A = this chain, B = another copy of it.
Amino acid sequence: MLELAFQPDRAAGMPIYRQLAEYLRELIVTGRLPAGEKLPATRELAASIGIGRNTANLAYQTLIDEGVLLAHVGQGTFVSGVAHGPVASVHPARRAFVWDGLFSRSARVPNLTGLRPQTETNVEFDFRGGRVDPEALPVRELQRAYRHVLGEDFPRLAGDLDPLGFAPLRDQIARSLLTRGIRCDARDVIVTSGAQQALDLVARALIDPGDAVAIEQPGYFGAAMSARNSGAELIGIDVDSDGLRTDQLARALRSQRIKFVYTTPAAQMPTGVVMSAARRQALLELADQTQTPIVEDDYDSEFRYDNPPLPALKTEDDAGQVIYVGTFSKAIFPGLRLGYAVVARRLLAKLAVARFAASFGPDALAQAAVAHMLESGVFERHVRRLRSRYAERRSALIAALDASMPDGTTWTDSRGGLSVWVTLPPGADAAAIETDAREAGILYAPGRGFYLDARGQDQLALSFANQTPAAIERGVARLAEIVVRNRATRMSA
C-alpha spacing A88/B154, complex, angstroms: 33
CB distance from A454 to the nearest CB of B (A): 21
Cβ-defined partner of A349 (8 Å) among B80, B92, B342, B344: B80
User: In the complex, are the beta carbons of A345 and B88 less than 8 A apart?
Assistant: yes
Cβ-defined partner of A356 (8 Å) among B114, B319, B361: B114
User: In the complex, are the beta carbons of A111 and B359 less than 8 A apart?
Assistant: no
C-alpha spacing A154/B336, complex, angstroms: 12
Contact with B along A337-367 (1 / 0, CB 8 A): 1000010111111101110111111111110
User: In the complex, are the beta carbons of A353 and B81 less than 8 A apart?
Assistant: yes
Cβ-defined partner of A103 (8 Å) among B81, B206, B320, B344: B206
C-alpha spacing A293/B365, complex, angstroms: 35
Closest to A205 in B: B107
- The answer to whether the Cβ of A160 comes within 8 Å of any Cβ in the partner chain is yes
Give the dominant DSSP class at A's interface.
loop
CB distance from A383 to the nearest CB of B (A): 17
User: In the complex, are the beta carbons of A358 and B197 less than 8 A apart?
Assistant: yes
CB distance from A230 to the nearest CB of B (A): 7
C-alpha spacing A162/B118, complex, angstroms: 7
- The answer to whether the Cβ of A194 comes within 8 Å of any Cβ in the partner chain is yes
Residues of B within 8 A of A158 (CB): 132, 134, 137, 333-336
Closest to A334 in B: B159
- The answer to whether the Cβ of A226 comes within 8 Å of any Cβ in the partner chain is yes
Closest to A316 in B: B91
User: In the complex, are the beta carbons of A205 and B103 less than 8 A apart?
Assistant: yes
User: In the complex, are the beta carbons of A209 and B209 less than 8 A apart?
Assistant: yes
C-alpha spacing A176/B360, complex, angstroms: 25
Q: A196-B357, A205-B104 are in contact. Are A87 and B345 (CB under 8 A)?
A: yes
- The answer to whether the Cβ of A207 comes within 8 Å of any Cβ in the partner chain is yes
Contact with B along A113-145 (1 / 0, CB 8 A): 011011000000000001110100101001100
User: In the complex, are the beta carbons of B353 and A182 less than 8 A apart?
Assistant: no
Q: Which of A10-18, A40-48, A183-191, A443-451 contacts B (4 or more CB under 8 A)?
A: A183-191
Cβ-defined partner of A159 (8 Å) among B111, B192, B333: B333
Q: Which of A94-102, A269-277, A399-407, A484-492 contacts B (4 or more CB under 8 A)?
A: A94-102
- The answer to whether the Cβ of A291 comes within 8 Å of any Cβ in the partner chain is yes
C-alpha spacing A321/B194, complex, angstroms: 32
- The answer to whether the Cβ of A106 comes within 8 Å of any Cβ in the partner chain is yes
Residues of B within 8 A of A354 (CB): 106-107, 229
B-facing residues in A57-77 (Cβ within 8 Å)? 67
Q: A82-B164, A359-B200 are in contact. Are A320 and B96 (CB under 8 A)?
A: yes
C-alpha spacing A142/B131, complex, angstroms: 27
Q: A118-B159, A259-B102 are in contact. Are A357 and B89 (CB under 8 A)?
A: no
Chain A residues within CB distance 8 Å of chain B: 67, 80-84, 87-100, 102-107, 111-112, 114-115, 117-118, 130-132, 134, 137, 139, 142-143, 146-147, 150, 154-155, 157-164, 182-184, 187-188, 192-194, 196-197, 200, 204-209, 211, 222, 225-226, 228-230, 259, 291, 293, 314, 317-321, 333-337, 342, 344-350, 352-354, 356-366
